[in-house]
Structure formats: structure tokens, C-alpha cells
Amino acid sequence: MIPIRRNASAAVRFEAATSSYQQAPGVVPDPRPAPDTPAPPAESYEPADTEAAYVSRETPTREEDDPPLAMEAMRAVQILNPSGEVTMPRPERTRVMCVANQKGGVGKTTTTVNLAVALALHGNRVLVVDLDPQGNASTGLNVPHHTGVPDVYDCLINSVPLEDVAQAVEGIPNLWCVPATIDLAGAEIELVSVVARESRLDRAITAYPGHFDYVFIDCPPSLGLLTVNALVAAQEVLIPIQCEYYALEGLNQLINNINLVRQHLNPRLEVSTILLTMYDRRTRLADAVEQDVRNHFGDKVLQAVIPRNVRVSEAPSYGQSVMTYDPGSRGATSYFEAAQEIAERGAKEPVSRNG
């Protein structure tokens, strides 16, 4: 059990746990050679299981960037799962996962979209709730979200049922999206004067008659009322952490907010999953961040790590996830692995949701 989730002194401990950049005492020393130490032979960097290393890490060499076509095709078929078989175990109850990190650009939306598509392609019924006025998740899933389209704002402010605004995602069976239009930008302020303002989304999700295996809520990069609504509606928080120095800075604040929501509004809430994103194996900092995050959050951190991969960033401009845009790419394979881990963990430790 990770202490940060449970008590008020968590922030202090988290500072300690994340301070190895300053070589704080008690922190495992950096095993890498000093800059002027001659590099060991190249093969000593190769992990024993090259297959596993291949799928979870972006690597610098040209050959590894372009995996053999046959292997790529095989992975693509595995990811697209044309048979429609249920290959990722479905949870006993709906898992509502809030994808949150108030830092911008860390991969919340990319993670939401790709995990949702991966799980849906493998037999799970998935709903994505776009709770960010930027509407990036709606764009990534190619769901219309221009002004005038019924959206999550209508559900939060005007009590419109979610099923009236959810749209089926074209080309992906089992996947629906509640879009966000620019209207949502006003919700943060309008919610202040609405009854039960923190639990509007929770009520809407609970009232949704269709059964989902997963509901992913893509949060905006802030800790305002929209994010609070997501935290109240969820049982699980998934925190994407970008493998760079500043990525860790705002985490205390996020964890404190999660603790407050747990104490006052949603006792079942827990940080269940941490996903390292935009990992660049070429930088030592990425390793240091990974080590710190794993030391602190333990097995909440998924083994799968998402590499920085150009296919991942190209996909949204085609209204696609990387899973369908380039299913043989390393970005797709890594998100597929992350989804599989999440599904398997959920099957082992069923999470409950009322109703």
C-alpha cells in the first residue's frame, strides 16, 4: 500500500521520495557512470528479454525505429483484433477511471483515447467522457463536437442524460464518447451555483442505463470543479506522468486534492494506476524520473511505459488513435500492453461501483 494515498503527511514524504535529482541522502545512488567514465560495451545495455524491451521503450537506433515488417504486421493484427474476440478480461463491475494530472500536455488525452480504443477492440464496452473544454479526446476519436452538438456541458448544467449526448465512435465497436464542446469552458463557473455541484457527473454516470466495462474521464489540466466532478464520479485515478523533471512538481497538489475528495466526497476513490508517458530512452532524466516514480508509487506504476513516438502524435490529426492509425508502431504496442495490464489487474482485484 502506498502511504501517499492515505494520510496528510503524504506530501512531505512525496517530496522526499522525488528528491533524488538532488541526490538526497537515503536515495538509491544513480547506477549510471559519471559523464567522463568510458561507456561499457553496447551489448551490456541490452536487456535480457529484447522482445519485452522492444515493445515498451522507444530506442534511438534507426533499425529499432523500423521493426521488421513481418513482426509489425503480426503486432498490428494482434492489436486490431479483427476476430473481435474478448482477449482482455472484462471487469465484474464498471470501472470508472479518472485520467488526471493538472499539468498540461503530459498525455492525459492520448492515454484516455488509446486505452479506450485498445480495450474496446478487445471486447470491452467503453465510454469516454471528454471533460476538457479543449475537446481533444472528442477530436482524437473523431466525434463531432462543434458548437451546437449536445455535450457533457448539457449533462452537467442542464441535467441532460448522458445517453442523449453519447455518440458511438465510428469504426470502433463497443466504444462511445460523450463529447466536449467549447460550451464546457463556462461550466467551471456555472457549476459554482448548481445544486450538488461536485457530484453532477457522478449522478449522470450512475443514471446511464447502458452497462460499460470502463468509463474513462479525460480531465482538463486544472484542479477546478470539472476535475473534482471526475474525482467524485470515479473509483480509480489514472495519473499519466511525463518522464521529465517538471512532471513531478505538481503531483503533491493533485494527491492532496484526491485525499480531500476521498475524505469528504468519495471514500472509494484511489490512485490505482500510474502510467509513464513520452519516455525517451536516450535521456538519463527519463530513467531518473522512472526510478523515482517506481520507488514512490510501487506496483501502481504499470510495467508498460509509453515511449515518445511520432506516430502517437500524428494520429489525432487523422481523427484516429495510434491503435488504428499505425497499429504496428511502438506507440500502439505500448498502449496495447498498458491496456492489457489494466484489464488484468482489474480482473484480479475487482473494483466496485454502486449501482
Ligand X SMILES: Nc1ncnc2c1ncn2[C@@H]1O[C@H](COP(=O)(O)OP(=O)(O)OP(=O)(O)O)[C@@H](O)[C@H]1O
Q: Which amino acid is at 28?
A: V
Question: Minimal distance in Å, beta carbon 276 to ligand X?
Answer: 10
**167 lies in the binding site for ligand X (CB under 6 A):** no
Please select the residue that binds ligand X; options are 95, 108, 300, 330, rule is CB under 6 A: 108
Cβ burial, residue 209 (10 Å; 0-12/13-18/19+): exposed
Binding mask 320-349 toward ligand X (x if CB under 6 A, else -) reads: -----------x------------------
Question: Minimal distance in Å, beta carbon 106 to ligand X?
Answer: 4
Q: In terms of Cα–Cα distance, which of 172, 173, 175, 210 is closest to 94?
A: 210
Cross-strand partners of 128: 177, 216
In this structure, what are the phi and psi dihedrals at residue 130, rounded to the nearest 5 degrees? -85, 110
**324 lies in the binding site for Mg ion (CB under 5 A):** no
Scanning 130-138, 208-216, 250-258, 345-353 for contacts with ligand X by CB under 6 A, the matching segment is 130-138
Q: Which is nearer to ligand X, 304 or 351 (CB)?
A: 304
Which of the residues 105 through 144 are near Mg ion (CB under 5 A)? 108-109, 136
Instruction: State the Cα–Cα distance between residues 280 and 290, nearest whole angstrom.
Output: 11
Scanning 102-110, 197-205, 251-259, 282-290 for contacts with ligand X by CB under 6 A, the matching segment is 102-110
Q: In terms of Cα–Cα distance, which of 152, 157, 162 is closest to 209?
A: 162
Q: Which does 329 bind (CB under 5 to 8 A by kind): Mg ion, ligand X, none?
A: none
Question: Minimal distance in Å, beta carbon 137 to ligand X?
Answer: 8
Q: Let me know: does 188 contact 157? Beta carbons within 8 Å.
A: no
Which of the residues 134 through 153 are near ligand X (CB under 6 A)? 134, 136
Instruction: State the Cα–Cα distance between residues 66 and 52, nearest whole angstrom.
Output: 16
**313 lies in the binding site for ligand X (CB under 6 A):** yes
In this structure, what are the phi and psi dihedrals at residue 272, rounded to the nearest 5 degrees? -100, -25
3-state secondary structure of 129: strand
Which residue is listed with cell 530506442? Answer: 59
Please select the residue that binds ligand X; options are 16, 190, 221, 256, rule is CB under 6 A: 221
Q: Which is nearer to ligand X, 121 or 306 (CB)?
A: 306
Q: Which is nearer to ligand X, 230 or 351 (CB)?
A: 230
Binding mask 271-310 toward ligand X (x if CB under 6 A, else -) reads: ------xx---------------------------x-xx-
The footprint of ligand X on this chain (CB under 6 A) covers a number of residues equal to 20
Q: Which is nearer to ligand X, 98 or 351 (CB)?
A: 98
* String of DSSP letters for 27-63: SPPP-SPPTTSPPPPGGGGS-S-HHHHHHH---SSHH
Instruction: State the Cα–Cα distance between residues 40 and 268, nearest whole angstrom.
Output: 49
Contact residues for Mg ion (CB under 5 A)? 108-109, 136
